[in-house]
Chains A and B, each alone.
Chain A
Amino acid sequence: MADVAIPRAKPQMSEDNAWTRLKHNRNWLGFWFMVPAMAFLIFFLAYPLGLGIWLSFTDTRIGRVGHFVATENYEWLWDDSIFWLSVFNTLLYTFVASALKFAIGLYLALLLNENMPFKAMLRAMVLIPFIVPTVLSALAFWWIFDSQFSIISWSLKHLGLINQNINFLGDTTWARICVIFANIWRGVPFVAITLLAGLQTVSPSLYEAATLDGATRWQNFRFITYPLLTPIIAVVMTFSVLFTFTDFQLIWAMTRGGPVNATHLMATLSYQRAIIAGQLGEGAAISSAMIPFLLAAIMVSWFGLQRRKWQQGENND
Chain B
Amino acid sequence: MSSVQIRDVRKSFGNFEVLHGVTVPIEDGQFVVLVGPSGCGKSTLLRMLAGLENITSGTISIGDRVVNNVQPKERDIAMVFQNYALYPHMTVADNMGFSLKLRNAGADEINKRVKRAAEILALGPLLDRYPRQLSGGQRQRVAMGRAIVRDPQVFLFDEPLSNLDAKLRVAMRTEIKELHQRLKTTTVYVTHDQIEAMTMADKIVVMHDGIVEQMGTPLELYDKPDNQFVAGFIGSPAMNFLKGHVRVNGVATFEGPNGVKLPLKTAPAASDGRPAVYGVRPEHFTIADDGAEAEIVVVEPTGSETQVFAKIGGEQVVAVFRERHQFNPGEKIRLKPEPSLVHLFDETTGKRLNA
Contacts and interface: CB of A to CB of B under 8 A. Distances in A.
Interface of A: 203, 205-206, 208-215, 219, 223-224, 227-228, 308-316
A82 to B, nearest CB: 47
Contacts of B131: 310
Contact of B90 (A215, A310, A312): A310
Interface in B57-100: 72-73, 77-79, 81-83, 85, 87-90, 98-99
A213 B90 contact: no
Interface string B117-161: 000000000000011110000000000001000100000000000
A316 B134 CA distance: 8
Contact of A228 (B50, B72, B79, B89): B89
Contacts, number: 70
Contact of B99 (A213, A312, A316): A213
A314 B81 contact: no
A-B pairs, 8 with minimum CB distance: A213-B99, A214-B73, A209-B85, A205-B85, A310-B130, A310-B89, A214-B102, A227-B89
Nearest to B74: A214
A234 B349 CA distance: 62
Contacts of A311: 88, 132
Given A205-B83, A311-B132, A212 B89 contact: no
Given A310-B132, A314-B132, 19 more contacts: A205-B85, A206-B85, A208-B79, A209-B85, A209-B87, A209-B146, A212-B51, A212-B72, A212-B79, A213-B150, A214-B73, A214-B99, A214-B102, A215-B102, A228-B88, A310-B131, A313-B132, A314-B133, A316-B133
Contacts of A212: 50-52, 72-73, 77-79, 99
A172 B171 CA distance: 73
Nearest to A308: B89
Interface of B: 50-52, 72-73, 77-79, 81-83, 85, 87-90, 98-99, 102-103, 130-133, 146, 150
A66 B225 CA distance: 98
A212 B88 CA distance: 17
Which of A203, A205, A213, A311 has most B Cβ within 10 Å? A213
Nearest to B143: A209
Nearest to B103: A214
A206 B131 CA distance: 13
B349 to A, nearest CB: 39
A313 to B, nearest CB: 6
Nearest to A204: B85
A316 B138 CA distance: 13
A209 B81 contact: yes
11 contacts: A205-B81, A205-B82, A205-B85, A206-B87, A212-B52, A213-B73, A310-B90, A310-B131, A311-B132, A314-B132, A314-B133
Which of B89, B99, B132 has most A Cβ within 10 Å? B89
Contacts of B88: 228, 310-311
Contacts of B78: 212
Nearest to B158: A205
Contact of B85 (A208, A214, A315, A316): A208
A204 to B, nearest CB: 9
Which of A211, A214, A227, A309 has most B Cβ within 10 Å? A214
A211 B85 contact: no
A315 B87 CA distance: 18
B73 to A, nearest CB: 4
Contacts of B82: 205
A314 B85 CA distance: 18
